[in-house]
């Protein structure tokens, strides 16, 4: 036996006082047990040179005295939005790391058989049941230290009072509209003091995760401090329908070729039969036709997977991407709760389709963001523009509104709700703007797409 080996053996057999070098705890607290060393307690009860107050987003002070940070995490309540691919992972991560005990999970979906390959809190017997309910029940049974409540329904059903009870919100949503609404809600909860500074007590960090195939992202939104979801709306292309003429005559991307095969060629070849998207034979037919057309136009990238995606309008969900992105989300939640380490500033991208890459960058606040800034927007229009045309422009332009209502300083120009008000103001829609407002008048636009947020717009006549 060499001396090196012997000394290693001696070390393992020796008494704990001269065991493997463990960083010395300089305080007089009792030493941590091995079990505790392996837990979050280690992180939360020792001082850190990288604590949040020294970081680029100092939002709180790391306090190790009396288990301060640990206390902060154990009493906090977290909202998990979505109990699907990301949601299951987020709930599991929260339960296993004991970051918090009290969680509310909200989701309007029911379990589909195709979810079972990755949404691991669900079993075959759960198909057809509420995702939020089954997920909450599973975690509560398997991890008895957890208390997960659920709400089966839309996030829009809940009011500001509901959202205000949480210390952190983690969102694992798969659609842009819901994320816009949630972002609007959380930003609206921030209150300001006389100097116009946000009151830190009212800032609820929003951790937003998203995945698409082998790519994913996770970001930390500190409402009114960092950029918000709306600031980066441009990064999410609107789902514009491709004009049929492009599909038929000038395909440019593989998706156009696939659309050509299943929209036009299928109808021509099988006029009496609807395409069965669950039939491998039908899908193979579409794939082959799309490939043929792509070759004709020198377009690469048509695959069977992409064909499935385009035809069924689905983005393949990859379990490992969900696992990575949700782990990042839960890490960030833990950091903003305890301040034990520097938070993500502000965006993490994960790309796994060609090798594995990940990087972080600061997504800057958009100075004209309608949600997190008080910017007054300006528009120059012809005085004969109708109110309806203006509303149309707000929906199709950069704001991507859904159903705007508009008031001027003196009167209500058009309101969607309640029905009586809609009826009373409907007549204004066809009127030219110069009959309704003066040039340079400030209008207030509201839209359900971002909760209670209103947009200030000054219209001048050209």
CA distance 406 to 189: 22
- Among positions 182, 372, 387, 433, the unique one binding Zn ion when judged by CB under 5 A: 372
Q: Is 103 in the site for Zn ion (CB under 5 A)?
A: no
Closest CB to Zn ion among 335 and 366? Answer: 366
DSSP letter at 57?
Answer: S
The angle at the Cα of 89, spanning 95 to 316, to the nearest 5 degrees, equals: 175
CB of 325 to Zn ion, least distance (A): 21
Q: How many angstroms separate the CA atoms of 263 and 307, rounded?
A: 12
What are the residue numbers of the active site? 245
Closest CB to Zn ion among residues 173, 299 = 173
* Closest CB 27 distance from Zn ion, rounded Å: 42
Subset of 378-417 contacting Zn ion (CB under 5 A): none
Beta carbon of residue 366, minimum distance to Zn ion (angstroms, whole number): 6
Span from 127-135, 210-218, 221-229, 388-396 in contact with Zn ion (CB under 5 A): 221-229
- Contacts (CB under 5 A) with Zn ion, residues 225-264: 228, 230-231
455 is a contact residue toward Zn ion (CB under 5 A) = no
In this chain, which residue has its C-beta nearest to Zn ion? 369
Nearer to Zn ion, 231 or 328 (CB): 231
Identify which range of 139-147, 223-231, 289-297, 386-394 contacts Zn ion by CB under 5 A: 223-231
The radius of gyration of the chain's CA atoms, rounded to the nearest angstrom, is: 27
DSSP state of 66: G
CB atoms within 10 A of CB 78: 26
Residue among 51, 162, 61 nearest 104 (CA):
162
Q: What are phi and psi of 212, to 5 degrees?
A: -150, 105
| Residue 215: exposure state from Cβ atoms within 10 A (0-12, 13-18, ≥19) | middle
Q: What percentage of the chain's residues is helix, strand, coil (to nearest 5)?
A: 40, 15, 40
Number of residues that bind Zn ion (CB under 5 A): 6
In whole angstroms, the minimum distance from the beta carbon of 412 to Zn ion comes to 27
- Helices and strands, number each (H, E), in the chain: 17, 13
- Tell me whether residue 258 or residue 371 sits nearer to Zn ion (CB atom): 371
Q: Binding to Zn ion by residue 369, rule CB under 5 A? A: yes
- Enumerate binding residues for Zn ion (CB under 5 A): 228, 230-231, 369, 371-372
């Amino acid at each position: 036996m060499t001396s090196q080996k012997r000394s290693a053996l001696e070390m393992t057999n020796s008494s704990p006082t001269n065991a493997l070098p463990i960083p010395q705890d300089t305080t007089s607290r009792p030493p941590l047990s091995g079990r505790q060393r392996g837990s979050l307690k280690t992180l939360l009860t020792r001082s850190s040179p990288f604590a949040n107050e020294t970081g680029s987003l100092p939002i709180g002070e790391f306090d190790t005295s009396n288990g301060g940070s640990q206390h902060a995490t154990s009493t906090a309540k977290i909202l998990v939005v979505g109990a699907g691919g990301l949601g299951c992972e987020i709930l599991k991560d929260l339960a296993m790391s004991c970051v918090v005990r009290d969680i509310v999970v909200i989701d309007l979906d029911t379990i589909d058989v195709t979810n079972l390959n990755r949404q691991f809190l669900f079993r075959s017997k759960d198909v057809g049941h509420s995702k939020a309910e089954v997920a909450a029940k599973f975690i509560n049974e398997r991890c008895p230290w957890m208390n997960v409540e659920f709400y089966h329904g839309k996030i829009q059903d809940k009011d500001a009072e509901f959202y205000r009870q949480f210390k952190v919100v983690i969102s694992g949503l798969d659609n842009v509209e819901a994320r816009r609404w949630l972002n609007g809600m959380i930003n609206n909860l921030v209150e300001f003091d006389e100097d116009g500074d946000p009151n830190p007590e009212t800032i609820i960090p929003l951790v937003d995760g998203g995945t698409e195939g082998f790519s994913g992202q996770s970001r930390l939104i500190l409402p009114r401090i960092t950029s918000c979801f709306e600031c980066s709306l441009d990064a999410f292309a609107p789902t514009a329908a491709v004009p049929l003429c492009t599909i038929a005559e000038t395909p440019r991307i593989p998706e156009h070729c696939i659309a050509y095969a299943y929209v036009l060629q299928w109808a021509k070849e099988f006029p009496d039969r609807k395409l069965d998207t669950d039939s491998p034979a039908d899908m193979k037919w579409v794939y082959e036709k799309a490939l043929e057309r792509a070759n004709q136009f020198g377009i690469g990238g048509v695959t069977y997977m992409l064909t499935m995606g385009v035809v069924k309008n689905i983005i393949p969900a990859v379990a490992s991407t969900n696992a990575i992105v949700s782990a990042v989300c839960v890490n960030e939640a833990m950091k903003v709760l305890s301040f034990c380490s520097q938070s993500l500033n502000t965006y993490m991208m994960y790309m796994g389709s060609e090798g594995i890459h990940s990087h972080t960058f600061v997504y800057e606040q958009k100075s004209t963001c309608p949600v997190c800034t008080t910017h007054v927007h300006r528009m120059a229009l012809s005085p004969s523009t109708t109110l309806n045309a203006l509303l149309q422009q707000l929906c199709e332009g950069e704001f991507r509104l859904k159903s705007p209502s508009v008031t001027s300083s003196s009167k209500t120009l058009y309101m969607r709700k309640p029905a009586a008000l809609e009826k009373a103001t409907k007549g204004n829609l066809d009127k030219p703007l110069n009959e309704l407002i003066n040039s340079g008048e400030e209008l207030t636009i509201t839209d359900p797409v971002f909760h209670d947020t209103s947009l200030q717009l000054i219209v001048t006549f050209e």
